[in-house]
Amino acid sequence: MKKKIIENIKTIIYALIIALIIRSFLFQPFYIPSSSMEPTLLVGDRLFVSKYSYGYSRHSLPFSPNITQKRYFSKNPERGDVVVFKTPADNRTDYIKRLIGLPGDTLQIIEGELYLNSQKIQRDKVEITFNINCGNRKLDINAFEELLPGGERYIAVYNKEGTMQNTDKFIVPDEHYFFMGDNRDCSKDSRFLSSVGYVTFNNLVGKASMIFFSNDKKKGNFFEFWKWHKSIRIDRIFNKVQ
């Protein structure tokens, strides 16, 4: 009996070690709690983030232990990546946004249009058939397919009565990045310098890769499996994040 208990304890320990390795160095699951990345990511999406995409820092480990200030096996992110990062304000809170500005870039919103390095981002108006929200509020939006200089395309939405129609000019410092939510008027991101601002390279956690589960929590939460037939968004499962 004692031997069996010891073997079970060993099995649990080995399983925890394997899970820790996978979470720290390969993939980590994340839950989307807000509307800031609609329509790309919806509240209730659960996705895998690849931890190896940009190399490893202390934020690759659980609880971000302050054991190093370096990044190992580092790879530069690409403009347009959807990235999980730790906010500079506390180095603890996870945010997920789209990478728009690289080190040395200048960015500005003028009359509701995004300018990158003094060039207006090309965009084409599109129609979307589902609601865009900001918390519990439905937004009246214009949707555009934006094209970044590197060729990355994505859908960004702007509230017709948005408050970010014009901004100051942002200049991205060396070894920092500028992030924006695709739901432009419902996103606390690098435009808010006091709370998010420019994000240092070491604060990048990983690149969003794939949605593995999605459910509309208005129709039932994840644990109410008897409501899954109503709440699960089948069409989003296994979608690549881009």
Q: How many CB atoms lie within 10 A of CB 102?
A: 18
**Dihedral over alpha carbons 185, 191, 193, 197 (to 10 degrees):** 110
CB atoms near residue 165 (< 10 Å): 14
Rg of the Cα atoms in the chain: 20
Active site residues: 36, 97
Beta carbons of 37 and 156 less than 8 angstroms apart: no
To 10 degrees, the CA torsion angle through 199, 201, 60, 150? 90
The CA-atom distances, in angstroms, between 153 and each of 85, 88, 147, 148 are 21, 27, 5, 7
User: How many beta carbons lie within 10 A of that of residue 92, not counting itself?
Assistant: 10
